[in-house]
Amino acid sequence: MQLARSKLFRSILLENWILAFFSINLAIIVAVLEVSSNALVLPLTQMLGNSTVGSFPSPLSRIVGFSGISLSELKLLHLLLLLLFLTVVKNLSLYVSSLSINAFMLKSGEALRERCLQRFLELEIPFYERVGVGELLGYVNEQSQRSEKLFSSVLEFLREILFVSFLAIFLISLSPSLTTVTGVSLVFVAFALKFVIKGVQRNGRKTAYALDIFAKQVSEVLSGIRVIKAFSSEDRESLRLKQALKRRCQAELSAYKFNSAIHPLTETTGILVLIGIILLGNVFSDSSTELTLSVMLTYILTLSRLLPRVNHLNGLRSSLSLLGGSFETIDRFLSDTKNGHLIEGTEVYKKIDKVIKLSRVCFTYPSNSEPVLRDLSLVIPKGKVTALVGQSGSGKSTIIDLLLRFYDPDSGSIFVDDTDLRSLKRKSWHHAIAVVGQDTFLFNATVRENIAYGYPNATNSAIIEAARQAHALDFIELLPHNFETVVGNRGSMLSGGQRQRIAIARAILCDPDILILDEATSALDSNSERLVQQAIEKVSCGRTVIVVAHRLSTIEKADNIVVMQEGQIVEQGTHQQLIVLKGMYDSLYRMQSISNNDEHISLTAG
């Protein structure tokens, strides 16, 4: 991929153009001072050889004519002091230039990571269902780290070109004939290295791919560590990780086989060029007045400074190819996910007057071949409790996903009163909804911050009242630091019932129009379930509530129970109406009652 053609590269470069411009200008100053300090070698050697100072080509005399001072009037001490001054200023400028390049590198890496992180937040739920967390983390970790080095290499490459160009001009002014021979030799070297650079570029892409695979597997192992330990699969997973790590190392080693060849080849060729120039200079000095001893010494000294920079320049060419694979990976990710968003509505949600209505909705998950919902129609009245029940895979959670607009229906529509849900701005719609799920997610923050997550500007009294209504205040006051206690990763410092009550307090504080309870009590013990159920009843009062229920005993008071099977509604009504109907709901309810009685007898006998 040509960097100049990448919109991403150009945009990041433009964001930090001041640093780049400053660095390049400093590089020009350094290059001029490099040439000037080299130019002083000529009068210095003439003075040491008791020759007439200033007897060198006129272009060179203009280069070294500082502030109108005649070199013939300078003494040895003056030349040495001037040389020292130029060297100090040059190296200070080089130091600041290097700092600005590093700042440019870090700012570019920051901009790249910001784009990735912003895209992570913009991506829809379906994307996360098919892409692993490890791959995404790879974009903001290793791939970005390698890419930011690419940006610094670009500036260093431009800086070295300036250095080489100015030194080359100086060499031409000293001896055009020798410089022609040198230039032809270096062009031949650059052409020969082209094949090595292509090898680096090819293996750089393989390395970026291997980094992605390794990051995915590490993330998968860490996420599934409980399952791994439960099945004693540590050895098998260790072997799998070692194989992925080995493939990564092999890919990087292949790239470095080419990359490491750049320096030895360039340096060896440079020495050959230098030896050839000395031999040619010896021949020319006998037949030409152009090459005096002082000019020859100055030429060789300048060439000895030029060749390492050519070596570094070739190394940077290799680095650009090696690191380009990582930048391509990020650029491709950002490009491929650019249009992966649901269409945003234009209307702001205000309130529900009557109902939420699903009209002939059909939906199939991208990863499935069979539809999950089939021509489903459902009315959810305002201010009532609507419960969704049915076996796993019947489509209950899919309805919730569609109501939250994580997906849009394949056909049919969802209406809020008479407004199509797709016409609403999603943020305004989400602000009206609070969700309490089975697997409650808490951030590794304080209790206060978790409760106030949906309403960060809430007052302290409002947070305490929300906790009280959620039956959470009693256990919060027993925590080491009360509301300032950090709950750990995913709330690991709290029990399941405590996490649920924190989630309910969070929902109460948001004061939502719609409350969604997605099997909120199915993973709790009977005591925790009782407390959470009491909290749910309080927060449900006066709101539109949609409950996905596994334990049917928790929804006996629901205004409407919707029984689902294979993506369709097979029954609906109140608990009593469905029991009288003697259908699917009655069968499920009786089976759960028998199971609960057997469990109670077993516990009592134990």
387-435 pLDDT tens trace = 998 888 888 888 988 998 888 899 999 999 889 999 988 888 888 888 8
For the domain made up of 3-201+259-336, give the CATH fold.
ABC transporter transmembrane region fold (1.20.1560)
* DSSP-derived secondary structure letter, 343: P
Q: What is the pLDDT of residues 125-136, one digit of tens each?
A: 777 777 777 778
Every domain of the chain and the residues it spans: 3-201+259-336, 383-394+424-560+568-605
Rounded CA-CA distance 247/240 in Å is 11
Q: What is the pLDDT of residues 325-362, one digit of tens each?
A: 888 888 888 888 887 677 888 889 888 888 999 999 99
What pLDDT does 66 receive?
A: 42
Q: Which has more confidence, 380 or 251?
A: 380
Virtual torsion, Cα 280, 283, 284, 286, nearest 10 deg: 160
What pLDDT does 63 receive?
A: 47
Q: Tokens 């969070």 appear where?
A: 506
Q: Closest by alpha carbon to 379, among 420, 335, 332, 415?
A: 415
Tokens matching residue 512: 């939502």
pLDDT for residue 232 is more than 90:
no
Q: What is the pLDDT of residues 305-329, one digit of tens each?
A: 777 787 778 778 777 877 888 888 8
Q: How many CA atoms lie within 13 A of 501 on its CB side?
A: 27
Q: What integer is the mean pLDDT of 39-47?
A: 72
390 forms bridges with which residues in the sheet? 564
CATH superfamily label, 383-394+424-560+568-605:
P-loop containing nucleotide triphosphate hydrolases (3.40.50.300)
DSSP states of 189-240: HHHHHHHHHHHHHHHHHHHHHHHHHHHHHHHHHHHTHHHHHHTT-HHHHHHH
pTM above 0.75, yes or no: no
Distance between first and last Cα of the chain: 70
pLDDT for residue 73 is more than 80:
no
Rounded CA-CA distance 300/278 in Å is 8
Query: Within the chain, what is the greatest distance between any pair of CA atoms?
Result: 122
Rounded CA-CA distance 63/43 in Å is 12
Q: Which has more confidence, 510 or 539?
A: 510
Q: Tokens 């937040």 appear where?
A: 121
Virtual torsion, Cα 64, 66, 71, 77, nearest 10 deg: -110
568 forms bridges with which residues in the sheet? 565
587, exposed or middle or buried, with CB in 10 Å at 0-12, 13-18, 19+? exposed
Q: What is the pLDDT of residues 480-519, one digit of tens each?
A: 888 888 888 777 788 877 888 888 888 888 888 888 888 7
pLDDT for residue 525 is more than 80:
no
Q: What is the pLDDT of residues 287-310, one digit of tens each?
A: 554 456 677 777 777 777 777 787
The pair phi, psi for residue 76, each rounded to 5°, is -55, -45
CB 302 within 8 A of CB 167: yes
Tokens matching residue 304: 């000895």
* Dihedral sign of CA atoms 35, 37, 43, 44 in order: negative
Q: What is the pLDDT of residues 437-467, one digit of tens each?
A: 777 778 888 889 888 888 888 889 998 888 8
Q: Closest by alpha carbon to 376, among 408, 411, 352?
A: 411
CB 501 within 8 A of CB 458: no
What pLDDT does 263 receive?
A: 57
Question: What angle (nearest 5°) sits at the alpha carbon of residue 31, between those of residues 183 and 274?
Answer: 35
CB 511 within 8 A of CB 471: no
Amino acid at 185: S
